[in-house]
Amino acid sequence: MENKEFMKEWKRNSIRIGTPTNIIAAFTSFIPVIWLCLKYDCWPDPKVVLAGWGMVALSFGAFYIVEPISYYASLGLTGTYLSFLSGNIGNMRVPCATMALETTDSEPGTLQAEVASTMAICGSIITNLIATTAAVLIGSVVVSVLPDIVVSALTKYAAAAIFGGTFGTYALKYPKVAIFGIGLALAMKFLLSPPAWVLIVVSVFGSLGFARLMYVKEKKSA
C-alpha cells in the first residue's frame, strides 16, 4: 500500500474512532455533576447555568477555533483527537509532538509526521498518568518543603516557559514567520491593547496568512 492510500486509511480510521470517543467523553464529563445533583437534590437554576456558560464562552470561546487550527501542524489528525481527549495540550502534548517532529526530521502533514506525533503523544499521556499519580501521592509533601519563591515561579511562569520553548523551536525553523508573529502581537498589545482572545485570534491567523504568502512566494520563485 502506497503512502497516500495508507494516509487516507489512517485518517479515515482516526475520524471513525476519534469523533465518537471525544463526543462520549464530553457527555460523560457531566456524570459527576449529575450524580451530585441527584444525590443532594440541589439542581441549579437554568438561568444561572446559562449565564455561567455565557461568561465562559465569551472568555474562552475563541480558543475553540484557534487551538485546533494552530496546534494541528504539530499534533496531526490523530494527535489532535488524543490531545483534546486527554488534556494538557499546550503544556504537554504540543511540546512532545513538536520535539518528535524535530527529532525525526518529519514534515508536518506527512505520514511520518502523523506516526511520530501520535507515538509521542501516546507516550506523553502514559507518562502524564504516572506523574499525576505520583503527584497526588507525594506532590503535596514536596511542595510543602520548597521555598515560596520556587512555588510562586512554578505557579506563575511554568506555562509561559513551556510555550516560549515551543515558540523558540519553530522560530529556529521559520524565523521570518516568528518575527512577523511576535511583532504583530507586540504592536497590537502596545498600540491597541485589545482583549487577550482578540490578540490571540489575530496573531494566530495573521501568522498563518503570512506563512501562506511566504509559501506561495517561494513556490513561484522555484
| Tens-digit pLDDT profile for residues 30-46 | 899 889 888 888 888 88
* pTM (predicted TM-score): 0.66
What pLDDT is attached to residue 6? 83
Residue 109 has pLDDT above 90, yes or no: no
Q: Which candidate, 60, 50, 88, 90, places its Cα nearest to that of 74?
A: 90
Residue 181 has pLDDT above 90, yes or no: no
Coil/strand/helix, residue 89: helix
pLDDT bracket for residue 25 (50, 70, 90)? very high
Cα angle 169, 107, 104 (rounded to 5 degrees) comes to: 70
79-92 pLDDT per residue, tens: 999 999 988 887 78
- The answer to the question of residue 188 being in a domain is no
Q: Determine the Cα–Cα distance for residues 83 and 71; give it in Å rounded to an integer.
A: 10
- The answer to the question of residue 198 being in a domain is no
Segment (H or E) for 220: helix 196-221
- The answer to the question of residue 70 being in a domain is yes
pLDDT bracket for residue 1 (50, 70, 90)? low
154-178 pLDDT per residue, tens: 777 877 777 777 777 778 778 888 8
- The answer to the question of residue 218 being in a domain is no
* Residue 138 identity: I
DSSP secondary structure string, 58-120? HHHTTHHHHHHHHHHHHHHHHHHHHHHHH--IIIIIHHHHHHHHHHHTPPTTSHHHHHHHHHH
- The answer to the question of residue 176 being in a domain is no
- The answer to the question of residue 203 being in a domain is no
What pLDDT is attached to residue 74? 83
- What residues make up the domain containing 95? 3-143
- The answer to the question of residue 121 being in a domain is yes
